A and B are shown apart, each in its own frame.
Chain A
Amino acid sequence: EVQLVESGGGLVQPGGSLRLSCAASGFIFSDHFMGWVRQAPGKGLEWVGHSGNKGISYIKEYVASVRGRFTISRDHSENSLYLQMNSLKSEDTAVYYCTRGLGGTSVYDSWGQGTLVTVSS
């Protein structure tokens, strides 16, 4: 069974940093694109970024609003995906979902339960 379990969310002050983790299991981690999608309270879904699958895991793309502040990384030995978030702003407040792409695509066929990040003083 495919499982994605996020952790690391919480309350952080504006300008602060936070690192989210996503533990993946039940599939071959290196075979899949992996991404992060967020949802601000009461709002729609926003793609945050993704990391390519095996051979092209150097591919990292981000939505413009987080580019230069957020960094995605993956540890294939730990089957884990990370999202390092720096210079956080109030508008980054959201539930952050870890997502698995269908093979080498960004068709997200599995989602974690989400972790809430609140940026507030």
Chain B
Amino acid sequence: DIQMTQSPSSLSASVGDRVTITCRASQGIYNAVVWYQQKPGKAPNLLLHGALSGAFNLESGVPSRFSGSGSGTDYTLTISSLQPEDYGTYYCQHYYSAPGFGQGTKVEIK
């Protein structure tokens, strides 16, 4: 099974900050990565996913301050300018084979 190691486990940042969350797969996953946001007591929400073409597709309705990048085993979710509503826990997931999730990154607004 492919393991996803996500970091950091938590972060605290101010409104307007650039925030980066990373995921490292235990083997190459050819851009088959997904990022979700989960707010307390709610189901996760799909933010974006990578495609075999190399593109990262933002889900409809997700603000453009969210973006994805990476290749091979290393992938990044970036929030270009953190907003108050961006609090929550973020998870990466691979879908290259039987899926697996990262451990999550809890984002707090200072």
Contacts and interface: CB of A to CB of B under 8 A. Distances in A.
B44 A45 contact: yes
Contacts, number: 51
A111 B44 contact: yes
A47 B43 contact: no
B43 A113 contact: yes
Interface residues of B, number: 21
B68 interface: no
Q: Tell me what chain A mostly uses at the interface: helix, strand, loop, or mixed.
A: strand
A36 B38 CA distance: 16
A107 B34 contact: yes
A114 B99 contact: no
Interface of A: 35, 37, 44-47, 50, 61-64, 97, 102, 105-109, 111-114
11 contacts: A44-B91, A45-B38, A45-B91, A46-B101, A62-B98, A63-B98, A64-B1, A106-B93, A106-B99, A108-B93, A109-B59
